[in-house]
Structure 1
Amino acid sequence: MFRIGDFSKLSRISIRMLRHYNELGLLIPDHIDDFTGYRYYSAAQLTISNRIQVLKGLGFGIPAIGKILTEYDDVETLRKHLIIQHAQMKEEEKVLQQRLTLLQNTIYRLGEDRVNMNYDVNLKEIPERYVASLRDVISAYDQEGQLWARLEKEAGGSLQMATPCYSLAIFHDEGYKESDVDVEIQLSVTGTYRDTDHVRFKRVAPITVASAMITGSYSLLREANVSIANWISDNYYEFDGSMFSIYHVGPATESNPDHWVTEVCYPVKKS
C-alpha cells in the first residue's frame, strides 16, 4: 500500500488532483485509516490512474472517463467508443480550421483597410420567375448544401435552366438563428414539371430589393449588411419580406471562397 504522496509520484498525478478524483468517485483510495485519515492506494490502482491520464490526453472529460472506466471493460467496446471520439475531434478540427481561416482573412482585411469598406447598394427588381423550390428546416446555415443535393437528386436530371438562371436561397425565419433554420432554395427553370416528394414548381412574382454584390467568402456578409442598412435608412425604405442571397458563383462551381460572387438581397418598399 502507498500513501497519497508516494502514489502521487508513482502515478505522476498531483495530490490535489488525486483528492479531486476521490471526491468524484473516479479513483477512490484502496484504504483510508480511520484514526489518521491517511489515504492509501494499491499498486493495482496505478493501472487505473494510467488509464485516466491517457483518456484525459485523448480529450475525454471527467464524466466520460468515469463512464468508460465503469462500463467499457472489454477492448472492442472501448475501441468503438474511441472511434466515436475520433470522429468528434475531427469535426472540432474542421470547425477550428474554419475559424483560423476566418481569423486570417480578417487580419488580411485589417491590413488592407477593408474591414469598414462600403459596398455599392442598388435598388432593383428581380423579375417574375418560374422556379424549382425546396424548403426545409436545416441544422445550421452552413448545411444549406444538403438542400441543393436533395434538389439535384429529385429533379436535377430533367431541369432546363432559365436565362438568366437565378440560383438563390431565401431565409424565412423572422430573425437570425443559431440552429434549426428555415431555408428555401430556388432555381430558375423553363418548361413544365410535376412536383416531386420535396421539390415544388411555382411562379414567383417580381420583387423590389436593395442589393449588394460580394466577391469573396460569406464572412463578408456582415460588412455588406452594414452598407445595405445604411442605404435603407438614408433613402427612407423599409424591409418588405425575407432576405435572400443569389449565388452567381458559389461552392458548386468554384472551390476557392475568394472567387465566390454573392448578391445579398433585402426586399424593400418605401416607408
Structure 2
Amino acid sequence: MKEDLYSIGKVSKICDVSQRMLRYYEEIGLIRPDEIAAPSHYRYYSISTMRRIQVIRYLIDEGFRLEEIREMLSAQDLDRFRELFLQRIDQTRWEIEYYHQRLDSLKSWYELLVEGQAVYRHQNRAVTVKYVPRERYFCYERQRRSGEQDSEAYLETEYFTQSKRNGHSMVDAGGAFCVKFDGFRERMDDTYRHMTLLQVLFPNSKSDDDTVDFGGFLAVSCYHIGALSNVADTYERMLLWAQQHRFALRGDCCERYVLDIYSTPRQENYVTEVLLPVAEDTEDFARLNRWKQGR
C-alpha cells in the first residue's frame, strides 16, 4: 500500500506547497493525510489528495479565501459553488474598477510632479491667460475661525474625513488640491472667512455626494514658487497684468497646489498656480474643449 502513498516532503515538492502550509491545510480541515504512520506520526498522501491540493491552489489563484475554499470543497451541490463564484466575480469587478481609479490617481499625481518640476527648473513666473475647462469636482466648504492659522491644513484634514463618510475612497478624486476663495482681496490680506477645497472627481466614483461642476471660464494664471506666506506679491503682479491687458476679473480666486507637502518637505520648492477668473463669455472655448474630447 505504501507504494501508492507519498510522504509530506515528496508531496511538498510535487505540489510546490511548503510542508508548513500542508500542515496548516490539515489544521483548518482542507485536507487529511491518507495515513499517519505509528509511532513516527509521518504523514502520507494519495494521488487523489494531491489533486485536491492542486484544486486548492487553483482556487487560491482565483482569489478565493481559504474559508471559502473549505466551504466549496465540502459543498454537496453546485448551487453554493456557483454562488461563491458569482460573489468572486462581483468582487473582482470592484477590484478592477478600484485599480483603474488608482491608476488614474497615480497618473494625475505624476503629471503634477512633471508640471511642478518644469516650473521650478525654469522659474516660470510669467503671467498668462488660460481656459479652465468645466469638470466635476469633489467639494468641501469651510468657515475659517477667528485668529486661525494654517487654515489650509484644517481644510484638507476635514476634507479627507468628509470624503470617507460619503463613501469615497482616496482614489475617487485626484490631481491637485484647489482652494477657492470668494475674493482675491481678502485672500491677499489674509482676512478671508470662507474657503472651498476642490479636487477632480474620477468618472467611476462611488458617490456624487458633495460634488460640484467647476470651471468653464477664462482665468489670468501665474505660478507662485515657494511658501505661500508671500503669495500676495504674485497676486499684485497678476492684477497689474490684468489691468494692462484690459481683463475684467470676476473677483474670486483659486489656488491650485501643484507641488506641496504631498510631494516635497521643502516649502521653497512649493509650486502653486494662482487663478483669477475673468468675466468674459467662454462658449467658444467650451465648444473647442468638447470637440477635443470628441463630443
With structure 1 as the length reference, what TM-score do the two structures score? 0.49
* Greater fraction strand: 1
With structure 2 as the length reference, what TM-score do the two structures score? 0.46
